[in-house]
Amino acid sequence: MKIVVSGASGLLGSALVPALEAAGHDVLRLVRRDARGDDEVAWDPGRRTVDRDRLVGVEAAVNLSGATIGRRWTASRKAEILSSRIDTTHLLAKTLAELEPRPQVLVSAGGIGIYGDRGDEILTEDSALGAEAFLPEVGKAWEAAADPARGAGIRVVGFRQGVVLTRHGGILERLLTPFKLGVGGRLGSGRQWLSWVALDDFVTAYRFALEGELAGPVNLAAPNPVTNAQFTKALGKAIRRPTIFPVPALAAKAVFGEMAEEVLLEGQRALPARLLDAGFDFAYPELDAALERALEE
């Protein structure tokens, strides 16, 4: 297929795009500057502009745009987190809806945080969404921004992604240094759930969604979520270091503010019900093997 990808140069896009090309797909990258080659298309989500003529003939789209949530949330940072998701998704969905012929499918990233903090509750795609918190509101607006594509009859897959395990970015990269120094430990009580997915399975799931028949919200997380305490123990084992220095909740909140509450001290126990029902096979369903693989990259 001819596939256009936003966020192609980011952490996840840098893994997905080569895999799509290796599978024989023709990939166009959306870039926020002048295009420098036949495989690039210029766009500016802030100004709601895109080189639409270059997208004629595109059969599928992947939307990976979004500013990182892993920093202290100021008012301006929260506005950037929201706009970087909504503006890009809406512009891409609207543009796809106006193309002739229309693309067949849009696969868009999203977060497992859309469910909010639910304690030990097992969450599937049919579970109620969270309320009265920042990440659930971002998640709901993010998914709704793809409505122009849905309204045009384009198949839309909205992935609700857990933490993607890679040593080159995200939570795992940030934890490696303190853990290797022997000062790693659980966060807060350690009872909060962590839904995670190996980078290899992330890539394979996107290909599965593009090439298959999935539609609607889809949890992209391994079938075996763990608590923060279990993750801490597994990471310490993987790098052969002790994990005896817990980080009190008050300390995390003092450093990271509201972000610590929703991202570090709360969690979701999400299961990939729709992926499993569709026949998707996780290469790394267990955390120990997934961490071993991530540390090899």
Report pLDDT digits (tens) over 268-291: 999 999 999 999 999 999 999 999
CB atoms within 10 A of CB 33: 9
Predicted TM-score (pTM) of the model is: 0.95
DSSP-derived pairing of the beta strands 49-50 and 40-44? antiparallel
What is the rounded distance in angstroms from the CA atom of residue 137 to the CA atom of residue 122? 20
| Average pLDDT taken over every residue of the chain | 96
CB atoms within 10 A of CB 165: 27
> With contact defined as beta carbons under 8 Å apart, do 175 and 154 qualify?
no
For residues 62-68, give the mean pLDDT. Answer: 95
What is the rounded distance in angstroms from the CA atom of residue 202 to the CA atom of residue 16? 8
Return the pLDDT at 70.
Answer: 85
> With contact defined as beta carbons under 8 Å apart, do 179 and 236 qualify?
yes
Return the pLDDT at 132.
Answer: 87
CB atoms within 10 A of CB 82: 17
> With contact defined as beta carbons under 8 Å apart, do 278 and 227 qualify?
no
What is the residue extent of each domain of the chain?
2-296
What is the rounded distance in angstroms from the CA atom of residue 84 to the CA atom of residue 86? 6
What pLDDT digit, counting tens, does each position of 119-176 carry?
A: 999 999 999 999 989 999 999 999 999 999 999 999 999 999 999 999 999 899 989 9
For residues 60-73, give the mean pLDDT. Answer: 94
Identity at 179, one-letter amino acid code:
F
What CATH code is assigned to 2-296?
3.40.50.720
What is the rounded distance in angstroms from the CA atom of residue 174 to the CA atom of residue 167? 8
Tokens 């980011």 — which residue?
A: 10
Q: Give, in order, the Cα–Cα distances in Å from 20 to each of 4, 46, 63, 177.
A: 11, 28, 14, 32
- Percentage of residues of the chain with pLDDT beyond 90: 96
What pLDDT digit, counting tens, does each position of 216-244 carry?
A: 999 999 999 999 999 999 999 999 999 99
Helix (H, G, I), strand (E, B) or coil at 111: strand
Tokens 């610590």 — which residue?
A: 260
